[in-house]
């Protein structure tokens, strides 16, 4: 399956298994969503389970918070991550605090799906990577898969989770490749990273849409420079898999962090700080960050310059080893 097919199959599986699961958002019903992630679900489960909403992100998420507090399991779609900001107050002031505010009396099992990231020549506000906003908010879990198998398994785990989950889907990977994906229900654990390439010279930490470029850069570094890079797909941005981060740095002694969000106060800064706190004496060189620039995501002609592509990642690998 492609990633978009895996997400669709995950939603179908959840709807079929649990009557409490609802799917809603802008154009998710008859149109099947802007990327067709919900295509066919309304026909299969009816307009009471899969339905369209007005164009109001705050209303979508606010409704989901109330449904979750009443015991349902809503899965809402925000068409692009850059559209999520009107719902920010609902997410951080309500969704993230329901369980704490009610001392556990009310659940908050809801999933907020948000396609994110650049690489498809989209208009303004369609390519943002603002995951750090939500990683910073206690009470939320934040997930960012990079492949079809993980996307379905993490989505089903998110739907089962008692906490609200911001589920980030890298747009440019939706139809970029196919992976084997089991039919039926399975889960990938939230909070567990995955080593997707072994290597002993340095560790590269990456997630979401950056993973394929990170893998390509690691392969080029091996062929051209003999540098063997361990690549760790974090998969979950909160809670981070601290054990895997520390063990990997202890193993290789060097680290590089790659993300397309702006550099300042990005999730990479938190990973770098964890390395300094937990694995400082294993470091043989400073941690290197390769990230987007501290500017709003640019329009078409500058998009490729903004994104940390293979060339910038490869340069970062060489800097980390040369230091």
Examine the pLDDT at 185 and tell me if it is beyond 90.
yes
The pLDDT of residue 308 is: 96
Q: How many Cβ atoms from other residues are within 10 Å of residue 97's Cβ? A: 18
Q: What is the DSSP letter of 296?
A: P
Distance CA 314, CA 34 (A): 34
The pLDDT of residue 253 is: 98
Examine the pLDDT at 211 and tell me if it is beyond 90.
yes
* Mean predicted confidence (pLDDT) in 145-155: 98
The pLDDT of residue 300 is: 85
Give the E-state strand segments of the chain in sequence order.
Answer: 21-25, 50-52, 73-77, 111-116, 141-143, 165-170, 194-197, 202-206, 229-233, 236-238, 255-262, 288-292
Examine the pLDDT at 125 and tell me if it is beyond 90.
no
The pLDDT of residue 193 is: 98
* Mean predicted confidence (pLDDT) in 228-238: 98
At 84, list the tokens: 């999520």
At 44, list the tokens: 């299969």
**Among residues 126, 185, 251, 259, which one is catalytic?**
126
What's this model's pTM, rounded to 2 decimal places?
0.96
User: pLDDT digits over 69-112, tens only?
Assistant: 999 999 999 999 999 999 999 999 999 999 999 999 999 999 99
Examine the pLDDT at 323 and tell me if it is beyond 90.
no
The pLDDT of residue 279 is: 97
* Mean predicted confidence (pLDDT) in 260-270: 97
Nearest to 287 by CA among 319, 311, 248: 319
Distance CA 259, CA 208 (A): 9
The pLDDT of residue 38 is: 98
Examine the pLDDT at 229 and tell me if it is beyond 90.
yes
Active site residue 126: yes
Examine the pLDDT at 301 and tell me if it is beyond 90.
no
* Mean predicted confidence (pLDDT) in 207-218: 98
Domains of the chain, first to last: 3-173 (3.40.50.970), 194-322 (3.40.50.920)
Q: What is the mean pLDDT of the chain?
A: 97
Q: How many Cβ atoms from other residues are within 10 Å of residue 123's Cβ? A: 10
- 265 falls in which pLDDT band (50, 70, 90)? very high
Give the rounded percent of residues in the chain with a pLDDT score beyond 70: 100
């Amino acid at each position: 399956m492609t990633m978009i097919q895996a997400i669709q199959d995950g939603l179908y599986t959840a709807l079929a298994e649990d009557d409490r699961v609802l799917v809603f958002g802008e154009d998710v019903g008859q149109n099947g969503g802007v990327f067709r992630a919900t295509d066919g679900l309304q026909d299969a489960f009816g307009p009471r389970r899969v339905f369209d909403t007005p164009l109001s992100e705050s209303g979508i998420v606010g409704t989901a918070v109330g449904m979750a507090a009443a015991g349902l399991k809503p899965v809402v779609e925000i068409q692009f991550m850059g559209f999520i900001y009107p719902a920010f107050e609902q997410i951080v002031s309500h969704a993230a605090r329901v369980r704490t505010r009610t001392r556990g009396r009310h659940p908050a099992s809801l999933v907020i799906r948000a396609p994110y990231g650049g690489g498809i020549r989209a208009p303004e506000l369609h390519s943002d990577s603002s995951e750090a906003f939500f990683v910073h908010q206690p009470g939320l879990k934040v997930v960012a898969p990079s492949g079809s198998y993980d996307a379905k398994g993490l989505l089903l785990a998110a739907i089962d989770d008692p906490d609200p989950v911001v589920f980030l889907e890298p747009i440019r990977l939706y139809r970029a490749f196919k992976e084997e994906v089991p039919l039926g229900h399975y889960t990938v654990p939230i909070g567990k990273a995955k080593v997707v390439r072994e290597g002993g010279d340095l560790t590269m930490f990456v997630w979401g849409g950056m993973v394929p470029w990170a893998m390509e850069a690691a392969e080029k570094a091996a062929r051209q420079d003999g540098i063997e890079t361990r690549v760790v797909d974090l998969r979950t941005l909160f809670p981070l898999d601290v054990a895997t981060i520390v063990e990997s740095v202890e193993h290789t002694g060097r680290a590089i962090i790659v993300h397309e969000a702006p550099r300042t106060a990005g999730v990479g800064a938190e990973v770098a700080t964890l390395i300094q706190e937990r694995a400082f004496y294993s470091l043989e060189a400073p941690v290197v960050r390769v990230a987007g620039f501290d500017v709003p995501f640019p329009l078409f002609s500058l998009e490729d310059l903004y994104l940390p592509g293979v060339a910038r990642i490869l340069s970062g690998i060489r800097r980390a080893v040369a230091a």
